[in-house]
Structure 1
Amino acid sequence: MSSGTAACKLNLHPDNGPRYGADSAACVMNLSLYREFYKQWKQSKYKNTGSLNDALKSWRWVYSNCPKATENIYVDGVRMFGYKIKKEKEASLKQGLIDTLMLIYDQRIKYFPVHYKTKKPQVGKILGRKGVDYYKLDPAKNYLETYEILDDAIELDAENAKGPVYIYYFRSITKMAQKGDTDTTMVVDAYDMISDYVDDNLTKYEIAGKSKESEEWLNIKGNIENTFEPFANCTDLVRIYQKKYDANPEDIELLKKITKLLDKKDCIDSKLYFNATVSLHELAPSPESAYLIGKMMLMDQQYNEAVPYLEEAIKMENEARAYKALIFLAEDFSKLNQNVKARTIALKAAKLNPSAGKPYIIIGDLYAASANKCGDDELTKKVAYWAAVDKYKKARNVESVLAGSMAQRISRYQKYFPPTELLFFHNLNEGDSYKVECWINEVTKVRAAK
């Protein structure tokens, strides 16, 4: 069987033949019959095989004689033949059904390359579904052709492909490596590409506050990371890219790929990462290369030296990376005891990614660390802990996965709240508003130690 994707990709406009074919009356009649039987099959929760078989008789006529009548021909066809494939036990008959399923996808591309409602191209989307279905039918046999189909799908849709497309594309490539059809380099290059697409989608939904979609993309990311794990050790990554770097040490695109991948897989202690990062910034200084230098200096505790690089890095257009740069810069200012700057930058990070709790953790830690320094008596040396706990609660509220770690922080610092007798001595009651002075300068609520 041939995927037929090259021809399908080029046919972005269906032919101009009549929608209902040469015999429009027969088309409408058979279309109505198959849809009615299909509806009955669906209402039976896809258990009434009699309705299915009746639907297929008229469906086949419509598919062959008026293929442009409605896109439902192909949507329903995939469902019906998918069911038949699962139920068929005889190998040759099963293969015939699989071939037909693939042809249904190809014919849909031929006649409906553009979505009838949105008017947007949908070839990549259809190829994605075709490739995923094909892989699932027989991974051990179909992985090579799955790769070809899904490679075309991703070339067309890039970061707009569906999550399963990335999963099964990557599985097909890792299987190719395991079977000796390619080498580890191809696996690493594929991971480098699709992990960016997945991260872009994850960040997009996190920033939009869409928790369901964020969870879905987080699961997709975890799936891909697990598949990559056998190929992801730093020794192999450095070995693969050291050869490429030695051959082309001034190739800017290669340097970007090396630094990005080694950074993502936490291989930043390698000499290759250091050399590639420095070379990239010398050859093509940019906020992205500044980010890598700044992060490296922060990790190396060169806090003053890291500041100008991270200040440049926050100008990155990619919001996910700009957010990370803001977090690193806030942490850097914190290490330098420049608390007001650290808080200002952390708040900018919170504005850029409203569903992230990390900015509030940074601010809470700043407040807690300042408590003793910001007071001149037994009471005022404890009130900053109120403000710190407020921030930990805020972090927990905006990012629910932090609930456990924030509960620990809150429990730890509630012990340092002023005791009840101290509040009484200062004529304060629980729940009263109280302004924490010093650099913090925030209004909070009075609470007793717990």
Structure 2
Amino acid sequence: MKKKIVFIAGLLLGVMVSNEILAQESTGKYGSDSITCIQNNSLYYEFYKQWKKSDYKNESWKDALPSWRWVFLNCPKSTINIYLHGEKIMKQLIKMESDKAIRDKYIDTLMMGYDQRIQYFGKEGYALGKKGVDLYKLRPSSYEESYNILKKSVEMQGNKSKGPTLIYYFRSAEKMVKTEKAEKSILLDIYDQSSDIIDYNIKNAKNEKSLKSWENIKGNLELSIEPYANCEDLISIYSPKFENTPNDIELLKKITKKLDKRNCTKSELFFEATENLHKAQPTANSAELMGKMYIKKENYTKAAEYLKESIELCEDDNEKADAHFLLANIYFQLKQYATARTHCYQAVKLRPNNGKPYILIGDMYVATAKSCGNNDLTKTVAYWVAVDKYKKAKSVDSSVAESANTKIKTYSQYFPATETIFFYDLKKGDSYKVECWINETTTVRTSD
């Protein structure tokens, strides 16, 4: 036991002394004793390779340790492998150690390793992410230090941040809130910041494995924020801030974004913040939010005005598509079906892989089927074109397939019977033009 304590104390002392010497002396890559450095590098690496080859199950790491320690202390600039391999070695020591005091020394050394890696090999943001995650996992009581490390990492890395960094950034902040060292609002800020990073990586995933990994991270974060992001919480957090500075642009953006994201758009706070934001700084987004707000109030005419303004101001095709789809829903409510369909087609023109507009067109055909006919046949033909749209929806967008299939099954039962089409001199497979406002050509089918 004494030997272990002496070893650790010597290691830590050696690191501090070595750093001071290296800071003062202009030594080369391999330090003042390059031959011994190269020899020890080679020696520890041979044992490390044996350990790695065993899938880190044999005890070759113990043989690697003395030589690795020498390199770590005496030629820390020689290769980044000192830190990559040292991380594994130190974590193995931590895992094997039952004495808390000694284990803490090992954790300190691991943290020093990250600092030394940054000092000599850069990539500070990335290394800080690993350091913060490991500190939180290995020493949960240091959550405040972990939070500050991870905060800096995410600020530096942005969209290059790793998934675990984002998860433990939130968890460390959560502990800060629970111990009353931070306000609950920081969790919402971190959630928004992390969500943007996650969405970017999902959108730009290079392979299926990466995509699934980021989707899992997203799911984890969504579960984590759930207890803190209900409408009541959000309103209680932001109402006092809004009352103090009702015209603060950044605060207004934050309030409207958060309330909209959590579907808290019926609140008076959302109404007032959105209105103030649009007056002060009219943008496509603020106009869209005004539109959504009036939709909630069922003032569809006013909502349509703002959504048209949003489309005029907007430069992003996806956002334009969203606004067109909202407009389509509004005109559906107003029973202006042809106008609603026009906006659906505008939406799919801007975002061809979106099936929801086709679903809505199908729903409008269903809603007007009987009013568009005057006999047994013409009161049912609209179901043909409705099903056509549902099939189109699932062909371009797998996310709506379940809904589309349900509707196809339901409304196929409303097709005319074989007897009915025979009476009107039609047969299966014939081309047929559906009149009324629909004005589309389809194929004759039967329900039996």
Q: What's the TM-score, normalizing by structure 1?
A: 0.82
Q: Which residue of 2 aligns with 1:357?
A: 355
The CA distance in 2 between the partners of 1:129 and 1:65, in whole Å, is 24
How many Å apart are 1:261 and its aligned residue? Answer: 1.2
For the pair 1:289 / 2:298, whether they are aligned, the reply is no
Does the CA contact (< 8 Å) of 1:255 and 1:280 recur in 2? yes
**Which of 370, 388, 391 is the equivalent residue of 2:389?**
391
Bigger shift: 327-336 or 289-298? 327-336
The CA distance in 2 between the partners of 1:367 and 1:287, in whole Å, is 31
The CA distance in 2 between the partners of 1:300 and 1:26, in whole Å, is 78
Kindly, what percent of the aligned residue pairs are identical?
50
The CA distance in 2 between the partners of 1:17 and 1:355, in whole Å, is 60
SS in 2 for 1:68: coil
The CA distance in 1 between the partners of 2:105 and 2:350, in whole Å, is 53
- Aligned partner letter, 2:182: T
5 Å matches for 1:78-157? 78-113=87-122, 122-139=123-140, 141-157=141-157
For the pair 1:411 / 2:372, whether they are aligned, the reply is no
Q: Which residue of 1 aligns with 2:343?
A: 345
Does the CA contact (< 8 Å) of 2:128 and 2:149 recur in 1? yes
Does the CA contact (< 8 Å) of 1:433 and 1:443 recur in 2? yes
For the pair 1:174 / 2:174, whether they are aligned, the reply is yes
Could you say if the C-alpha distance between residues 72 and 408 of structure 1 is closer, same or farther in structure 2, counting changes exceeding 3 Å? Answer: same
- Aligned partner letter, 1:151: K
Could you say if the C-alpha distance between residues 357 and 217 of structure 1 is closer, same or farther in structure 2, counting changes exceeding 3 Å? Answer: farther
Q: Which residue of 1 aligns with 2:50?
A: 40
Q: Which residue of 2 aligns with 1:58?
A: 67
For the pair 1:231 / 2:218, whether they are aligned, the reply is no
Q: Give a deviation string over 1:339-391, Cα, whole Å, max 9, x none.
A: 44433433444455555432332233233334345556544443432333333
The CA distance in 2 between the partners of 1:428 and 1:17, in whole Å, is 92
Does the CA contact (< 8 Å) of 1:209 and 1:354 recur in 2? no
- Aligned partner letter, 2:165: V
SS in 2 for 1:417: coil
Task: Determine which structure has greater relative contact order: mean sequence separation of CA pairs < 8 Å that are 6+ residues apart, divided by chain length.
Answer: 1
Does the CA contact (< 8 Å) of 2:390 and 2:404 recur in 1? yes
SS in 2 for 1:449: coil
The CA distance in 2 between the partners of 1:71 and 1:443, in whole Å, is 68
- Aligned partner letter, 1:53: K
Could you say if the C-alpha distance between residues 225 and 340 of structure 1 is closer, same or farther in structure 2, counting changes exceeding 3 Å? Answer: same
Q: Which residue of 2 aligns with 1:12?
A: none
The CA distance in 2 between the partners of 1:214 and 1:174, in whole Å, is 26
The CA distance in 2 between the partners of 1:211 and 1:368, in whole Å, is 38
The CA distance in 1 between the partners of 2:27 and 2:350, in whole Å, is 51
Does the CA contact (< 8 Å) of 2:265 and 2:296 recur in 1? no
For the pair 1:276 / 2:273, whether they are aligned, the reply is yes
Bigger shift: 210-219 or 400-409? 210-219
Q: What's the TM-score, normalizing by structure 2?
A: 0.82
SS in 2 for 1:325: helix
Could you say if the C-alpha distance between residues 372 and 40 of structure 1 is closer, same or farther in structure 2, counting changes exceeding 3 Å? Answer: farther
Q: Which residue of 1 aligns with 2:13?
A: none
Does the CA contact (< 8 Å) of 2:266 and 2:296 recur in 1? no
The CA distance in 2 between the partners of 1:364 and 1:417, in whole Å, is 14
Q: Which residue of 1 aligns with 2:369?
A: 371
Does the CA contact (< 8 Å) of 1:367 and 1:385 recur in 2? yes
The CA distance in 2 between the partners of 1:444 and 1:427, in whole Å, is 13
Bigger shift: 417-426 or 295-304? 417-426
The CA distance in 2 between the partners of 1:85 and 1:340, in whole Å, is 69
Q: Which residue of 2 aligns with 1:184?
A: 184
Does the CA contact (< 8 Å) of 1:38 and 1:52 recur in 2? yes
Q: Give a deviation string over 1:92-127, Cα, whole Å, max 9, x none.
A: 2221221122122222222222xxxxxxxx322221
Does the CA contact (< 8 Å) of 2:384 and 2:443 recur in 1? yes
Bigger shift: 96-105 or 33-42? 33-42
